[in-house]
Amino acid sequence: MTKQAKQQLKKQPKSWYVYCIRTARGALYTGITTDTARRLKEHQGGRTGAKNLRGKGPLQMVYQQQVVDRSSAGVLEARIKKLSKKQKEMMVAGALN
């Protein structure tokens, strides 16, 4: 890859995602990232993942939604975190169907 091509890639805006991960006991964790696959691996590895998910057994990505920018991702994350467990489960079920 040429130097110019690398510079163009850096200039492109990153896609942001809001995601939910289910723990072995059924709890849902919500976060934001630019790479959902990388973030799930980080959470599973424990070192760079959320402390809240350490030792919670197998983790499963159950929901992800692409948003325009980091600001929008943060706003949506906050809204999801305010939902009840039942509302979150309905959101996840809608995403899986």
Condensed to tens digits (0 to 9), the pLDDT of residues 60-71 reads 999 999 999 999
pLDDT digits (tens, 9 = 90+) for 14-50: 899 999 999 999 999 999 999 999 999 999 887 788 8
Classify residue 3: in a domain, yes or no.
no
* pLDDT score, position 73: 97
Total Cβ atoms within 10 A of residue 16: 21
CATH number at residue 24: 3.40.1440.10
Q: Where does residue 95 fall: left (phi above 0), alpha (psi -120 to 50 degrees), or beta otherwise?
A: alpha
Classify residue 7: in a domain, yes or no.
no
* pLDDT score, position 49: 81
* pLDDT score, position 97: 47
pTM above 0.85, yes or no: no
Classify residue 59: in a domain, yes or no.
yes
What is the domain count for the chain?
1
